[in-house]
Structure 1
């Protein structure tokens, strides 16, 4: 036996001797009637959950909130999934046990309150805090229990989050059901912790909007989960709500397309939300928790016995008001935790019907809001300020807000992105004084102009962190809701968004690119995380200059097409090589989370590029590969569990079709009007002021961007432009007329009082101040979001050849420069 093996053997024998001695002590204590064998302070930070084929019991108070019992049972199943041993569940009685897991909420659990009263458990750091919890190993916590892992929440959701934090630390992914991320099997299970306190979260309400569910979530749920009603119903929502709790999320805008019945249609849906302690809201187009697509347009006759009048508040206010009032009464009677969306838009995602001119529209919308708040106050018997409400100035509603719509001070204004991941506006310093604060509605999936992206998720953690950190620093900490489409395949991006909402400092823009590595290490193992982060970050880099769903709208030169296909082939090869090494237990998860999006994106690019290059057979092969991949997803992995969840052509957009061999540009057309640059300068080459500016890896089309560190710093004006934080590069350029072009992240100014300006200087002389701030919905904006960058340029003249100092002064926070091109 070698020295290493001998050491391991000796350690094994020692552990067994210690275990025998410990067991002997427990037995002798029991025989002698003493309970002090474990009453002395145990300095060990390790708590054994499963050992010697036995699991510790899980204890909670039956009088605690229902969500606590639900999550306690989920924890037992998680432990069983790892060890094949399921712990006993005890809901209230005091039991004799050497050790146990004790779960409870302050003020709702006699078990917890007794420990607090007897000074066994200190809750000073979480009491009266929002959604906070403590994990602590305590000796002699209760009579006849010698040692316990205590999970204590400040409120029921805090307790639930604490329970699932334990699951996560044991190796159970939040995506254990939704992506088949199965934990590694172990015979023994323990947790090593000191006292852990977490919370309150950075953002109060954090959640998802289930949207555009027509091609995945709804048909899958109808076929596999809520088979009795053939729809998204309470069984599906129970699975979704558990996922949210595992992600430390608390909020939902339910699915609301015409293919799905309204959330309140099935009475078990809100009851399920209440059981899981999930806060229910409704989207920007669904005032007062009413789904107009179903409840006004399709189901009004069933509810009211007559056809509805026109959806116009100026001509039909009594009927509309009654319709809203009935939902308020229902929510109040259920005692359902809810956030009311106030205001009014069209029946679906369109502008509010009514007056033709802006002034009258503003006046009408202000009346709508006043009437809604009066109804809320009357039925909850409270001031409206005590009932959570949001106003979401989405699309045309932002113009009405600018024109004079008044969101009452206590209402949370939820600013929206431009549907492509770039926030249109955040609160001004004056708006930040409002008691209702602000939040963000942000898209990870989208149906609409200039083009959808409903198939794959390719919004990088770097971009999410950049936009949401900017929002948070400007006061948006009240509510974050992410449009996640069908949930799949946006799993990692959703988890990143929820991690950030829980702790805004967890992933700053400067290090967000590293998130896939940590995520992969937890879910697939540290041996594979280095390869996965390279694959994912290259996947995001390529999508930054053209999402797969947008590739038919973009013109690339032949050289650019070949470079993109080469890059995609490299990550496809890495993906498939790694697949051969990934453990069998997570092969299905690896297919869902890595293989399908990477290969799908690669083949969609190939399909269009080969057709443009006249290689029609190769284009057809790529098209067939996407079909094969989708068939595997729906029919072959996970025993057919995901049958119907993945559609390769949502909304039948032309990008998903097989290209017509006669309809594409030839090489000559693809290469015309392309100016030849003299220099392409990466931001990595710049020398810059590191106290104000930083390089953000993974952001923008250049693979990194230069931006401000603090998004609340003051902007600079023209009079002191050269004093702004700056970056420089020294270049050798030929004489003559030259053009400097800045390639920037296509985001928007922080608010209407700012721009996205750069002062460009040559050899210390100010040449120009340029601004890349582009109005949303303009033709230029459409081009920007499809190609992944905005640009601006200015000319200068060099009298002679030689070295030139190019200096860029960044005048506004929120500006991110990705690349500099000299023509």
Structure 2
């Protein structure tokens, strides 16, 4: 394949004063260069010429290029569609045309002034260059030549993007940056065939947001051509070519007769969703009485219904969906067996053959989507003809369930992938905001590419907005997979931010997008209704809130400084996702704290309750602000409910989560103050279900040099009036951050950090005693703080036990050992914390033999062992599934020189189903395994992990020697020397 792309450093953008089409070679500059041609200068724009016999979609795109010049320079290019072989009346010109369709282009080729050898007959390819003296009287022409209709269109839009018009100029209101001059460089920009042949989206789950927006904006109750042409243009500007239209309440071909005609004219290949065969939508069937959607009982009616669909689609570029599911995206009944489905496909192909009057129906594209139970039919023996594309599906949560084997990859129809950015169903619908990790998308789709699933990539994008960023990346990757390898993901974000908002803020905006999508992907907003981030261990809830507040502060700073015309786009693409996510995370964490604090009797429960109510209103205000942008252009787009989930389905209305409240006019029992300690839910003094070792006992976990730098206690009021408290330490090497204070009826708690001066602390084990009291009420309590002060040998390199645990980010290995050419490599930004590591190449002929594959070694130093001397090694894995037949995801593990244990990560799965641990793994965005290992002594040890199956992704390794606390993300990474 031809991929004449230019690999460049991001700084080049600002230095040359130009804008890159993402990943493409630079053809345009905003300053003159040797041999360049001024396309626009001093208020003049070169005219655009095309052959009026060219594809209507090419002429339309050329008209868009004229309008794009106006967006950038203030003046449109004149357009002339000619019926001839040359142009006249201009010394310089822009020429757009398709090889074999445009007489202008063909004449240049015949005159040997344009060489199209490398693109002629290719799929969706283009060549852009300057041609000297192309026609008599014309000095220079800037020529955009396409191999076919879409090749020409993509070439035109490539230039639109490079002069400064984002593909999202309408759908996200990205403003074009004004330029006085635009130059075509004296270079050849050539793009060969895309890596994925059909690249598109599925508009799904479109109620309430997209449906209400369309109905209001176009004053209609259908998804008509006024709406769809905006989608068609967006897809083409993104170099996509394929669409599954809205399905729940719309009939693409029947609602507006212009829909299918315009899709074809624009250059979009239409198909239907995975469960709507033969170019007909489910609402069409339901629109009038036709009998049961059951081919075993109503085949004549259904057959004729499909005949009508094929006849209607015949004039247009279409990709037929084969097979049949139950009405409304449900499984077929069990009695509708494989034999019936095979007959259905045979009858559908008979219809196509008759409609197209052909004996070779492989010329009519067909696909069979192996979604949910349909995959089970395939695994149990159902087959379709070799020319039908097998469209493999993910699990609706971004984990591909199956990919082709080596033999299946040889099929004439090829293979593809149906992927999800949005979903309605178990374990929780997620429709509100973008919660998709770009590194995760890359890993899954790169694996699909390597396994030869290259015919179709289609992704469920829900309402389209607010999935702009993952859609953009998905299409960039589908166009040129190798251009966007795992080491180029940060560059992609930088270039995206540069294109949309300019060089000044690109670095910060890229960071914001990378971070917020990591944070939303690790736990979807809709799953925050139950306690997730620990309220007591590892400062997890507080750290989570701080992460969001850090992003919020930077995003607000940028938002204030951006020009007024850039603010709407920034609000949609970056600022609202961050602010809305901050609010929802704060709201749920504070609500859960309020419930806990009320149970503990703390007055602060009430203040938190008030903060939750304020956040609930702030969420509504952010929605209103989004809907008010640009005079209400995007009204309804944020209407999706997202607070108040109790099961998989969306709540019918936003619902304030449960909070706690105490009676502030009364004094709590048994004392006016209580003290709580890190890692514990109980209070002292007090008596509740989380009580600390009895009615009036304090307890504290061991502090050690390599654990958290501080631990804390919180002093809280249970009084109905102001009280004074004091705290003391009996140790010269244990200090308290606060030793006294006052708490009013409505005061927050007082946090007291317990700080050890390790230089003064005695070696080995010791203890300090702390006192907390409120003498006015005669309340006194003491706590013993165990302290361990041990030091690793000076020559040790690796991770060190702290607080009974060793936590390691996977990329921080001590040694990475190859097996032949195979080695573990980092996928930056993958997973919930830092990154993932995976063996590459990602495809091998066979699994690695245990302990023979590429391995990672982690040196650790332990100070303690449990009484039975058994430790646990707990790897955190990505949520990928067993997508390779007969080769489940496995690894081998050992500590030191013991025999390796071979562990299967993903349980065996019933064909067409998901594994038994699927729900918790997708809810938590991680999968855990655990092995036990017996050690003879403390000191240095080495954890070894071997790849057995190459598609595994390792995020973290946690070694538990008895101190692991319950938390969502796990302990912060241990000290590493």
Q: Secondary structure at the match of 1:80?
A: helix
Q: Return the alpha-carbon distance in structure 1 between the equivalents of residues 103 and 33 of structure 2.
A: 27
Q: Return the alpha-carbon distance in structure 2 between the equivalents of residues 121 and 44 of structure 1.
A: 21
After superposition, residues 198-597 of structure 1 pair within 5 angstroms as 198-224=191-217, 226-227=218-219, 229-258=220-249, 260-292=250-282, 294-297=283-286, 299-300=287-288, 307-332=289-314, 335-353=315-333, 355-356=334-335, 361-382=337-358, 383-553=360-530, 555-558=532-535, 559-597=539-577
- For the Cα contact (< 8 Å) 2:34–2:186, is it kept in 1? no
| 747-756 or 243-252, larger mean C-alpha shift | 747-756
| 1:13 counterpart residue number | none
- For the Cα contact (< 8 Å) 2:94–2:141, is it kept in 1? yes
Residue 176 of structure 1: how far off its partner (Å): 0.6
Residue 508 of structure 1: how far off its partner (Å): 1.3
| 1:657 counterpart residue number | 655
In 2 relative to 1, CA 714–728 (structure 1 residues): closer, same or farther, beyond 3 Å?
farther
Task: Tell me the TM-score normalized by structure 2.
Answer: 0.76
1:710 aligns with 2:841: yes
In 2 relative to 1, CA 509–595 (structure 1 residues): closer, same or farther, beyond 3 Å?
same
Residue 144 of structure 1: how far off its partner (Å): 2.4
- For the Cα contact (< 8 Å) 1:415–1:441, is it kept in 2? yes
Q: Return the alpha-carbon distance in structure 2 between the equivalents of residues 117 and 222 of structure 1.
A: 51
User: Could you report, residue by residue, the CA deviation over 1:485-526 in whole angstroms, capped at 9, with x for unpaired residues?
Assistant: 111111111010000000011211233244221210111111
| 2:695 counterpart residue number | none
Q: Return the alpha-carbon distance in structure 2 between the equivalents of residues 279 and 213 of structure 1.
A: 21
User: Could you report, residue by residue, the CA deviation over 1:217-237 in whole angstroms, capped at 9, with x for unpaired residues?
Assistant: 22212211x32x332210111
Residue 420 of structure 1: how far off its partner (Å): 0.6
- For the Cα contact (< 8 Å) 2:396–2:420, is it kept in 1? yes
| 1:742 counterpart residue number | 875
After superposition, residues 604-619 of structure 1 pair within 5 angstroms as 604-614=584-594, 615-619=608-612
Q: Secondary structure at the match of 1:580?
A: helix
Q: Return the alpha-carbon distance in structure 2 between the equivalents of residues 326 and 684 of structure 1.
A: 57
- For the Cα contact (< 8 Å) 1:613–1:667, is it kept in 2? no
Q: Return the alpha-carbon distance in structure 2 between the equivalents of residues 433 and 815 of structure 1.
A: 25
- For the Cα contact (< 8 Å) 1:179–1:593, is it kept in 2? yes
Residue 289 of structure 1: how far off its partner (Å): 1.2
- For the Cα contact (< 8 Å) 2:851–2:900, is it kept in 1? no
- For the Cα contact (< 8 Å) 2:847–2:887, is it kept in 1? no
In 2 relative to 1, CA 677–339 (structure 1 residues): closer, same or farther, beyond 3 Å?
farther
| 1:643 counterpart residue number | 635
Q: Return the alpha-carbon distance in structure 2 between the equivalents of residues 235 and 167 of structure 1.
A: 22
Q: Return the alpha-carbon distance in structure 1 between the equivalents of residues 805 and 56 of structure 2.
A: 67
Q: Return the alpha-carbon distance in structure 2 between the equivalents of residues 403 and 449 of structure 1.
A: 25
- For the Cα contact (< 8 Å) 1:49–1:190, is it kept in 2? yes
Structure 1: 5+ residue runs without aligned partners?
A: 1-41, 301-306
1:731 aligns with 2:850: no
Aligned length: 760
Q: Return the alpha-carbon distance in structure 1 between the equivalents of residues 204 and 640 of structure 2.
A: 17
- For the Cα contact (< 8 Å) 1:743–1:820, is it kept in 2? yes
- For the Cα contact (< 8 Å) 2:609–2:660, is it kept in 1? no
Q: Secondary structure at the match of 1:164?
A: helix
Q: Return the alpha-carbon distance in structure 2 between the equivalents of residues 187 and 402 of structure 1.
A: 61
**RMSD of aligned residue pairs (Cα, Å):** 2.1
In 2 relative to 1, CA 201–553 (structure 1 residues): closer, same or farther, beyond 3 Å?
farther
Residue 656 of structure 1: how far off its partner (Å): 4.8
| 126-135 or 503-512, larger mean C-alpha shift | 503-512
| 2:39 counterpart residue number | 49
Q: Secondary structure at the match of 2:367?
A: strand
Task: Spell out structure 1 runs of 4+ moving beyond 4 A.
Answer: 666-672, 674-677
Q: Return the alpha-carbon distance in structure 2 between the equivalents of residues 623 and 438 of structure 1.
A: 46
Q: Secondary structure at the match of 1:812?
A: coil
| 2:173 counterpart residue number | 180
- Which has the larger Rg? 2
| 364-373 or 212-221, larger mean C-alpha shift | 212-221
Structure 2 residue corresponding to 1:819, chosen from 926, 932, 956:
956
Residue 544 of structure 1: how far off its partner (Å): 3.3
Residue 644 of structure 1: how far off its partner (Å): 2.2
Residue 563 of structure 1: how far off its partner (Å): 1.3
1:688 aligns with 2:829: no
Q: Return the alpha-carbon distance in structure 2 between the equivalents of residues 715 and 773 of structure 1.
A: 18
Structure 2 residue corresponding to 1:97, chosen from 81, 87, 90:
90
- For the Cα contact (< 8 Å) 1:45–1:137, is it kept in 2? no
Q: Secondary structure at the match of 2:403?
A: coil
In 2 relative to 1, CA 164–321 (structure 1 residues): closer, same or farther, beyond 3 Å?
same
Q: Return the alpha-carbon distance in structure 2 between the equivalents of residues 323 and 124 of structure 1.
A: 45
Residue 553 of structure 1: how far off its partner (Å): 4.5
Q: Return the alpha-carbon distance in structure 1 between the equivalents of residues 328 and 35 of structure 2.
A: 55
Q: Return the alpha-carbon distance in structure 2 between the equivalents of residues 376 and 392 of structure 1.
A: 18
Task: Tell me the TM-score normalized by structure 1.
Answer: 0.89
